[in-house]
Structure 1
Amino acid sequence: MSALLTSSVPTVAAGSRAGRFAALAVLMLPVLLISIDNTVLSFALPSISRALDPDATTQLWIVDAYPLVLAGLLVVMGSIGDRIGRRRILVVGATGFALLSVAAAFATDAWMLVAARIAMGVFGAMLMPATLSIIRNVFTEAGERRLALAVWSTMFAAGNALGPLVGGVLLAHFQWGSVFLVAVPILVLMLVGVPFFVPESRDPAPGPVDVPSMLLSLGALGPVAWAIKSVVHPEERGLAIAMLAVGVVCGIAFVRRQLRSRTPMLDLTLFRSTAFTGSVLMNLAAMFSLTGFLFFIAQHLQLVAGLDPFASGVVLIPGSVLTIVAGLVVVPIVARVAPRWVVAVALLFSAAAYAMVAVLGHHATVVALGFAFVLLGIGIGASETVTNDLIISTAPADKAGAASALSETAYEIGAVLGTAVLGTILATAYRAHVAVPDGLSSTAHIAAQETLGGAVSAAADLGGSAGQALLASARAAFDSGVTITGSVAAVLMVVAASGAVVMLRRR
């Protein structure tokens, strides 16, 4: 690895068009991988639930531990990459991520998997800001940069959308750990290409390493996510409120420290631009809608509709394809139509997807859910391309790492909140409506009351008419929760669309 860090292998000339797009091709590998990893667990979760038997809170942590750590460290890693070299931190991140993916694949209990996901988040945070900031420095011409960012956004959105399909294909032939092992060949290919095609870049005048700011950024995000997940449990509500308070205090302290510092880790003056702030918030909203939708549709298709993982992934292919198409088609459109209207309409597509699920409720067919994901995919692909261009074009080139990290932080916070908020609403509604019969062990009774996956396993063990009654009750309770969750999410997306019209008024 040391050879890669300091490699003097001649690269394709960064000044040539071929060289720039060769670098872009290599950089798309970690983007695709990280985005797939955001959502691939949605379809692996039922298999993991059966194999490791996590409770509802641990199940949410399996999904959210990775994006939570990723979100907490993106700004930190973007700042470090600006100092030590963006290509260098890209190589370190890829190596660590590959090794920890292997560890996650062979986890033997739920909390071991959570620990591996946490460590993956540390190294994943090194990858994403580096890719965006290198693009910002390599593509200096506005038209080319917009195209490069469209490719980046499209690849990220496509990876998020393709995650369930990848998971479905792998789970049809291999154990659940295979969804993590897929990272290894992709990262090996990237490590081979980086020395040849990706030029090194860094901030020529970096400030000092700000350890307190790093700790405060983590302290702001981690406790808040934990509080959202835990507040629904009466026995944990007091601690959840305390953790929420800790997160808010750390967030305020972080902002105050950045505003007072001569060389802040995060240049908060960027938020003086309403378009910049609005773009960051719309990025967050888009990822919120995507991850929240995938969290429940994956479980519905497999545990309610009875499809296997591969068939479930196939249902989402049209939406995945249109996510990619929308991200590319929107590039010429936004040159003629004001960005605020493009983003607002895109978010309304997401709102329509959730509204459709909420209205259909228990009567939602597999075809209807596939069409809802088509609407969602169009909205995600279009909105992410436009908002990323607004975010990156605002920042000066020498601070590209920090600005890129802001864009990525919005993505990952959206991913965390999508699962935490909508997943918590869904889990709460499920627990309120499911009827668990007698005759189960205490462990099986708790599992059936906590998650749909637990109820499916418990029903299989129980058998007979009691098992069928439990299964029917659990599926009905889950779909009741989906109706409530879809309604809440649809309202939130309409609010986000209204915010886009107001905040993105000026580019």
Structure 2
Amino acid sequence: MSADAPDAPARAPLVLAALVLAAVVCNINVASATVALPEVGDAFGASQTLLNLVGVGTGLGLSISVLYLGALADRYGRKQLLILGLVLTVAASVIAAAAPSVEVLIAARVFTGIAAGMAYPTTLSLITALWSPGPGRTAAIALWASVSGVASVTGSVIAGLVLEVAWWGAAFLLAVPVAIAGLVLVIAVVPSHVNESSEPVDHAGGILSALGIGSLVLGANLALAPGEQALGVLLLVASALLLVGFVWRQSRAPHPLFDLSVARQRPFWVPALSGAIAVGGLIGAIFVGEQFMQNVLGYDPMQAGFAVVPAAAGLLLMAPVSARLVDARGTRATMLVGYACVLAAFVTMLAWREGTSYALVGAGFLALGAGAALVMTASSRSLTGITPVTRVGMASATSDLQSDLGGSLMSSVLGAILAAGFSRSFAAAIESSSDAASIGDEVTRALQASYASALHVAEQYPQFKDEIIEAARASLQAGAIGAYAVGSTAIVIGAVLVVLVLPSHDDELALVTTTR
């Protein structure tokens, strides 16, 4: 952006509203599945592993597409790709709602994520292209980050309300009216072709990144899943090879998709990685928490949806604070405060048990939202601040990967640990039962598959119903504790990375000045 360019676009409030509304569409779609998972499991008799894939499907679609689509938007038109993404979101949502099987639902969720990958990265890149560096851009990014995070939470609330009066498929239609409203506003007020690139797009790099990230997320889902470990490990090995190939390609391509000269700077890669861990912790914790609240604490979908409202409150309350703290103290200090809040949330969740009062549940979600708001604003500002405006699609796509890839991986890992812990705990319960000898292999597999599957078995054997339900609750609780313990460890590792590697505020400003 030239020195004499305006600090903000014409009709800036309306432009920002359009971009935030488009971002909300993507985040509602990610959140809507979480609260519906128990009913989806009941409808299809799905295993915990398949339910995990439903839950992470949209994040998976976003993860595999944002880098490539962000580059395409930089080259061929950010507004145009944003419009296409919103249109396809409507179609994908309808397919998901009408899915006749859990496998079709998973495919529809991935399609929803790819549509969101056309829209979501362009919202942040347009903010960066249309607002000049300074407090105005920081405030716009803070609002974008906080409202996006709130949508991830309130999507669960709205889905819980809808599921009280409608079937599970209605949860996947929540984004449709928002997408239509956003589409109209984007067409009307968002400028086209501002500070876009004229360089060719590295299509080979885009394909390598999509395949590598997709293999990583699927491998993380399956590596700990009962009976799927070999496939999961194979996918993780394939992911490592593909991502090494992607880096090799980027180091040699004349017009790389991912500029390594920018990415290797500490104000870029450290916020990207540590932001993915913290924001992924928010999404992963809610992913496990929704199932815990409904299956162990006995909340209905509406109660479970409203239970995460404190997370939305934390995100909203900390949005203005995060913007001021980033400008005053820099990325490292802001991220560390955010990490402290997220870690406090996970420690609280480790104390959740059957019969836990809502006060403790709400406190955990409040700390989770507050911490995520601080981390999201600091990381997004740092990424976009050090990246040239003509390549800002790379920065915005990386910022999106924090929530998309971070959320998918954390949900995958925590979900896999939840599934493995559930299966292991239920196996122990079966072995200790006086009726263990009379339980066949098929029934044993059904009992260990998921909470919903165990309930189906309980209905078939009413004489053992109470014992099966109690064992299922205890097993899910054991799996959730294991998941939150691993989540806590990941948060500690992320905080250590920030402390040891991220530069101080003064050094950060110097690096940004010399690299822009």
TM class, shorter-chain normalised? over 0.9
Alignment of 1:47-86 (within 5 A): 47-86=39-78
> Contact 1:425/1:481 (CA < 8 Å) preserved in 2?
yes
TM-score (norm 1): 0.92
Q: Kindly state the Cα deviation for residue 56 of structure 1 after the two structures are TM-superposed.
A: 2.0
Q: Residues 188 and 440 of structure 1: is their aligned pair in 2 closer, same or farther, counting only changes over 3 Å?
A: farther
Q: Identify the match of residue 490 of structure 2 among 481, 488, 492.
A: 492
Quote the Cα distance in structure 2 between the aligned partners of 1:129 and 1:86: 9
Q: Any conservation in 2 of the 1:134–1:201 contact (CA below 8 Å)? A: no
Cα deviation digits, residues 22-42 of structure 1 (max 9, x gap): 111011112112112222211
SS of residue matched to 2:132: coil
Equivalent in 470, 487, 492 of residue 468 of structure 2: 470
Q: For this pair of structures, how many residues does the alignment match?
A: 494
C-alpha separation in 2, matches of 1:485 and 1:345: 23
Which residue of the partner structure matches residue 229 of structure 2?
237
In 2, distance between residues paired with 1:386 and 1:327? 11
Q: Secondary structure at the match of 2:228?
A: helix
Q: CA offset at residue 307 of structure 1?
A: 1.5
- Offset, 1:362: 4.8
Whether the 8 Å CA contact 2:294–2:304 is kept in 1: the answer is yes
Q: Match for residue 289 of structure 2?
A: 297
Which one of the candidate residues 489, 499, 502 is aligned to 2:500?
502
Aligned 8 A contact 1:76 1:214 in 2: yes
Measured after TM superposition, the shift of residue 415 of structure 1 is 0.9
200-209 vs 408-417, which moves further = 200-209
**Residues 163-197 of structure 1: CA distance to partner in whole angstroms, max 9, x if unpaired?**
22121111112111111211111111112112221
Q: Tell me, yes or no, if the aligned pair for 1:226 and 1:243 is still in contact at 8 Å.
A: yes
CA shift digits 1:393-452 (9 cap, x unpaired): 111111111221111122211111111111111111111111356788876653331112
SS of structure 1 residue aligned to 2:257: coil
Could you tell me which residue of structure 1 aligns to residue 361 of structure 2? 369
In 1, are the aligned partners of 2:279 and 2:375 still within 8 Å (CA)?
A: no
Matched, 1:399 2:391: yes
On the 8 A contact 2:29/2:174 being kept in 1, the answer is no
CA distance in 1, matches of 2:443, 2:359: 33
| Alignment-derived partner of residue 126 in structure 1 | 118
For 2:443 and 2:357, locate their aligned partners in 1 and report how far apart those are by CA, in whole Å.
Answer: 29
TM-score by length of 2: 0.91
What corresponds to 2:270 in structure 1? Answer: 278
Q: Deviations over 1:96-127 (max 9, x none)?
A: 11111011111111001011112112211100
Alignment partner of 2:46: what SS? coil
Structure 2 counterpart of 1:263: 255
Aligned CA distance change for structure 1 residues 365 and 205 (closer, same or farther; 3 Å): closer
Q: Which runs of 5+ in 2 are unaligned?
A: 509-516
In structure 2, do the counterparts of structure 1 residues 16 and 38 end up closer, same or farther at CA, with 3 Å as the change threshold?
closer
Cα offset, 1:15, TM superposition:
7.4
Q: Which range moves more in the overlay, 94-103 or 313-322?
A: 313-322
Deviation at 1:77, TM superposition (A): 0.4
Decide whether the 8 Å contact of 2:96 with 2:109 is kept in 1: yes
Check 1:360–1:101 CA distance in 2 against 1; reply closer, same or farther (3 A cut).
closer
Distance 1:314 1:205 in 2: 44
Contact kept in structure 1, 2:267 and 2:382, CA below 8 Å = yes
Q: 1:481 aligns with which of 474, 479, 482?
A: 479
Structure 1 residues 178 and 444, CA, compared in 2 at 3 Å: closer, same or farther? Answer: farther
2:87 paired with 1:95: yes
Match of 2:33 among 41, 47, 57: 41
CA distance in 1, matches of 2:33, 2:340: 26
Provide the rounded CA distance (Å) in 2 between the counterparts of 1:101 and 1:488: 32
1:485 counterpart letter in structure 2 = A
Letter of the structure 1 residue corresponding to residue 76 of structure 2: I
For residues 322-333 of structure 1, the aligned pairs below 5 Å read 322-333=314-325
Q: Does the 8 Å CA contact 1:231/1:237 hold for their aligned counterparts? A: yes
Look up the equivalent residue of 1:67 and give its one-letter code: G
Quick one: which amino acid aligns to residue 239 of structure 1? L
Q: What is the CA distance between 1:482 and its match in structure 2? A: 1.7
**Corresponding letter in the other structure for 1:473:** A
* Percent identical: 26
